[in-house]
Chain A
């Protein structure tokens, strides 16, 4: 493989430096590096980050290839600056056996746009009743380390306890979709002032917070670590903050949309804003931003959830829940965290690459931009600002809540182990 010289990039937003890639690794980082024998990428003014890692992606294959496939999903990921994604287990069939996770993992390898790390289901069929063969999935070629019934909550306290205990044998982690099912029967949106007016079934904050409170206490009791998916309320932040202060091993993620959008948008009854957990209030949004800045929330994860057009082009109650996010995540984080002064680019690298790679044990990802490290890199034009155009998405689905909205930042290049997957904003 040839050499690539990235010239004059602000590494993690710092002083301009040259980064020389040789083969699959970073050969040298410094100033005035020789371009001899190297393809040169002029990066003056742009920010260079370690390749982003998404701990929460729905690739939909197998089963719902009409909304996304491993190929289209990983192309979307590369387009958004990601070099590794964790594929959620709620496929058809469910990723609850070694066979299914190996298939997804292998498809990712074959396509080569982005490393795909399958997440295994905690329970058979996501039904919350019987543990799936977690050990078999871990020992498979896919090497599963993260387990989740995402889309459904592991609400049975005993099953959750057992899962937390069981994965300790191979240092796995259970990622909980915190949603008390009885409190959210018929839930359509955040329960509050707006739901009262619109007459849509409420999804109360307490349904998330009560499960998180229970699970951090369970994790403490059995000495396990637990990860909280898409934390969405100010109250959840308080609970996680308290748990961390007690030394409980809990990590948490927030989605880009929960950092930017509120339930006021539901007044349009446009299902593009329908998502689970639902968009919350301005107060929650501000609490989530602060928590991400101070480290209470560890990472940003997209919860990229593709849906075909017809599942959103209908009345609210009939619509599917979820938004695509891989191709807009970094822009939303720049808008909500960087441009507001809450986080610098080193902080973004930490929350979107270093920490998610660590939680998911994605070896070779989330590494420092320095000599000898794998060349998983993302180059961002942070000065750009423009409207989101879903027609340009690499994802098979278009269910973005940001259509037409002006957002900052544009990923121009992505390298996966030295191989360019995105060049000048175009997929290779």
Chain B
């Protein structure tokens, strides 16, 4: 494992499988009456959020607290520049207070990379979403959800996602979730297809390790999971698509389209969902939609990442993996 988690592309297959396996162990903590491990006792983690994201911040905070870390929440709304203080000064101020890890969410692509590589601070850096670049813990929790559902909770241990066909639908251009998932799912052996109107696919996508289609209906029968991305309504004002209704008709997932999926296939969504836009209530509330499960898995994944980056090599939870095989 590297010292920081900046991009899903930095993870090897073995790194990723180790994180997923560790997250399975962590998830058992949630089943205990006392949901807490002493692993990070005495370590301080700051959640440095330059962008509002209550969901991600709470998920990290829950993970940190379950590992007994001391948690500082720092919400710096708006960009560092508009605020007058630079990212560098903010980070150095926090480190001076003895922070061991920085979980950073920032509107500028590359801000976590700069934080980790500019010699500004020594703390470990975990990217909690940067601009339209990466959101690696989201990709990990998605992979975790996929492995549980498509391979099995116990059967999945030590396994990757070889041969699984995943379709990602929506605003790929502006999506750090899509970028992270393409990287990680490819590393884990899955076959990824992106589906979007051509306006919402970046120029240069041809170098990505995935297929691209503009037609949702033809890809649905051939996938094991379909991941719906949030599409912001404002996009239509910049002429990415004509109207909300046309987007929904062509790329939204409704009951009829869901019926075209193979029996075992699941529907995923990173949240927050725009019901009526990319996904109908019927689909969102169906048993095939894993959106809520993904949130729960997010805590386990973030515990695993924090543990592996900060906790060293001692086992986090006493377990016997061989018995589970």
Q: Which residues of A does B touch, CB under 8 Å?
A: 188, 191-200, 202, 204, 268-270, 310, 313-318
B residues 6-30 in Cβ contact with A at 8 Å = 9
User: Residues of B contacting A316 with CB < 8 Å?
Assistant: 108-111, 114
- Closest approach, in angstroms, between the C-beta of A265 and any C-beta of chain B? 13
* Known A-B contacts A195-B204, A318-B81; A200 and B86 likewise in contact (beta carbons under 8 Å): no
User: Residues of A contacting B110 with CB < 8 Å?
Assistant: 198-200, 269, 315-317
User: Residues of B contacting A192 with CB < 8 Å?
Assistant: 203-204
User: Residues of A contacting B202 with CB < 8 Å?
Assistant: 195-196, 202
The answer to whether B114 and A198 touch across the interface, beta carbons within 8 angstroms, is no
B311 at the interface (CB under 8 A from A): no
The answer to whether B114 and A199 touch across the interface, beta carbons within 8 angstroms, is no
The answer to whether A199 and B207 touch across the interface, beta carbons within 8 angstroms, is no
The answer to whether A199 and B109 touch across the interface, beta carbons within 8 angstroms, is yes
When chains A and B are docked, how far (Å) is the Cα of A315 from the Cα of B114?
6
When chains A and B are docked, how far (Å) is the Cα of A318 from the Cα of B86?
9
The answer to whether B134 and A199 touch across the interface, beta carbons within 8 angstroms, is yes
The answer to whether A318 and B204 touch across the interface, beta carbons within 8 angstroms, is no
The answer to whether A202 and B203 touch across the interface, beta carbons within 8 angstroms, is yes
The answer to whether B109 and A317 touch across the interface, beta carbons within 8 angstroms, is yes
The answer to whether B204 and A197 touch across the interface, beta carbons within 8 angstroms, is yes
A-B contact pairs, 15 of them (CB 8 A): A192-B203, A192-B204, A193-B204, A193-B207, A196-B203, A196-B205, A198-B133, A199-B110, A199-B179, A269-B110, A269-B117, A314-B80, A314-B81, A316-B110, A318-B79
User: Residues of A contacting B109 with CB < 8 Å?
Assistant: 188, 198-200, 269, 316-317
The answer to whether A315 and B87 touch across the interface, beta carbons within 8 angstroms, is yes
B residues 123-156 in Cβ contact with A at 8 Å = 130-134
User: Residues of B contacting A193 with CB < 8 Å?
Assistant: 204, 206-207
The answer to whether A199 and B87 touch across the interface, beta carbons within 8 angstroms, is no
**Which of chain A's residues has its CB closest to B172's CB?**
A196
Secondary structure dominating the interface of B? mixed
Apart from A192-B203, A199-B131, what 7 extra A-B contacts exist at CB < 8 Å?
A193-B206, A196-B207, A197-B9, A199-B176, A202-B202, A313-B86, A317-B111
The answer to whether A204 and B203 touch across the interface, beta carbons within 8 angstroms, is yes
B208 at the interface (CB under 8 A from A): yes
User: Residues of A contacting B88 with CB < 8 Å?
Assistant: 313-314
* Most chain B beta carbons < 10 A, residue from A188, A200, A268, A318: A318
The answer to whether B204 and A191 touch across the interface, beta carbons within 8 angstroms, is yes
Which of B108, B203, B204 sits near A317, CB closer than 8 Å? B108
- Closest approach, in angstroms, between the C-beta of A278 and any C-beta of chain B? 14
B106 at the interface (CB under 8 A from A): yes
The answer to whether B204 and A269 touch across the interface, beta carbons within 8 angstroms, is no
Which 9 pairs across A and B sit closest by C-beta, in order of nearness? A196-B204, A269-B110, A199-B133, A199-B132, A317-B108, A196-B202, A199-B109, A193-B204, A315-B111
* Known A-B contacts A199-B109, A199-B176; A317 and B87 likewise in contact (beta carbons under 8 Å): no
When chains A and B are docked, how far (Å) is the Cα of A219 from the Cα of B224?
58
User: Residues of A contacting B208 with CB < 8 Å?
Assistant: 196-197
The answer to whether B114 and A269 touch across the interface, beta carbons within 8 angstroms, is yes
- Closest approach, in angstroms, between the C-beta of B78 and any C-beta of chain A? 12
- Closest approach, in angstroms, between the C-beta of A111 and any C-beta of chain B? 33
When chains A and B are docked, how far (Å) is the Cα of A200 from the Cα of B174?
10
* Known A-B contacts A198-B133, A199-B133, A268-B117; A315 and B204 likewise in contact (beta carbons under 8 Å): no
Interface string of B187-231 (1 = CB under 8 A from A): 000000000000000111111100000000000000000000000
When chains A and B are docked, how far (Å) is the Cα of A200 from the Cα of B179?
12
User: Residues of B contacting A200 with CB < 8 Å?
Assistant: 109-110, 131-133
- Closest approach, in angstroms, between the C-beta of A129 and any C-beta of chain B? 24
**Which of chain B's residues has its CB closest to A314's CB?**
B86
When chains A and B are docked, how far (Å) is the Cα of A192 from the Cα of B202?
8
**Which of chain A's residues has its CB closest to B50's CB?**
A315
The answer to whether B108 and A318 touch across the interface, beta carbons within 8 angstroms, is yes
When chains A and B are docked, how far (Å) is the Cα of A398 from the Cα of B2?
32
**Which of chain A's residues has its CB closest to B9's CB?**
A197
- Closest approach, in angstroms, between the C-beta of B91 and any C-beta of chain A? 11
User: Residues of A contacting B206 with CB < 8 Å?
Assistant: 193
Interface string of B273-285 (1 = CB under 8 A from A): 0000000000000
**Which of chain B's residues has its CB closest to A266's CB?**
B110
B113 at the interface (CB under 8 A from A): yes
When chains A and B are docked, how far (Å) is the Cα of A200 from the Cα of B114?
14
User: Residues of B contacting A195 with CB < 8 Å?
Assistant: 202-204
Interface string of B59-103 (1 = CB under 8 A from A): 000000000000000000001110000111000000000000000
User: Residues of A contacting B134 with CB < 8 Å?
Assistant: 199
**Which of chain A's residues has its CB closest to B79's CB?**
A318
User: Residues of A contacting B176 with CB < 8 Å?
Assistant: 199
